[in-house]
Amino acid sequence: MSKILVINGSVTPSQNSVSQELGRRFLEEYKKNNDNDEIIHLDLHKEVVGNNTLSQENFATYWSETEGMKFINQLKEVDKLIIIAPMYNFNISGLLKNYIDHVALANQTFSYKYSKKGDAIGLLDHLKVQILSSQGAPKGWYPWGDHVAYLQGTWNFMGGKVADPILLAGVKTEPLSALTPSKMVDSIQEEIIKKAAKF
């Protein structure tokens, strides 16, 4: 049995959220093959790590706060991580960025000790990661705003084994924009089934 942590990085209300529908659908397919796995849901709206932004005022204590270590330890205790991460203004939500700022901590999730010059060693090398994302524009419209590549690089840096992400792009353009979130996700159902089975 595996422990799965699901992080909701969406700020859109659940009933209107394409990425949260994608998350529900992925988990539905995942459970068909892994019914005994423990699923832990983390809603960043309700956690200090989602709402506490790094600033001049808290810089000296930001990484010594117990909240950060609580979630670093959670990452060390789970086997798999699913990240629900839609695009907002060409990047991930502030909630998810705040979370990453808390858990990306030297000597806890990565280390330069014993590494080659300029390289780091990721310390979450037990963790399998699946990124589930959506964006309003078609893929490639904003090459400077590749939030999925940012997430892949960040979790690879911390040692995670990042599976091929699922990106539902173009949800604010035709023909997808005329559909409900559920119907939009229907358009990539085969990809969801295939990747959930591998994860």
The response to whether 18 counts as a known ligand-binding position is yes
Judge whether residue 118 has pLDDT over 70: no
Whole-angstrom CA distances from 147 to 1, 8, 26, 133 are: 31, 15, 20, 9
Task: For residue 186, give its domain range.
Answer: 3-198
Question: CATH number for the domain including 175?
Answer: 3.40.50.360
The response to whether 90 counts as a known ligand-binding position is yes
Confidence of residue 61 (pLDDT cuts 50, 70, 90): confident
Confidence (pTM) = 0.95
Percent of the chain at pLDDT above 90?
A: 85
The response to whether 182 counts as a known ligand-binding position is no
Judge whether residue 54 has pLDDT over 80: yes
Arithmetic mean of pLDDT, 33-54: 94
- The pLDDT tens digits of the residues spanning 84-107 come to 999 999 999 999 999 999 999 999
Neighbours of 120 (CB within 10 A): 16
The DSSP output letter for 1 is -
The response to whether 87 counts as a known ligand-binding position is yes
CA 123/CA 125 separation, integer angstroms: 6
Judge whether residue 195 has pLDDT over 90: yes
100's enclosing H/E stretch is helix 94-103
Lowest average pLDDT, out of 33-37, 59-63, 95-99, 153-157, goes to 59-63
How many domains in the chain? 1
Judge whether residue 58 has pLDDT over 70: yes
The response to whether 59 counts as a known ligand-binding position is no
75's enclosing H/E stretch is helix 66-77
Q: What's the pLDDT at 63?
A: 83
CA 164/CA 131 separation, integer angstroms: 8
The response to whether 10 counts as a known ligand-binding position is yes
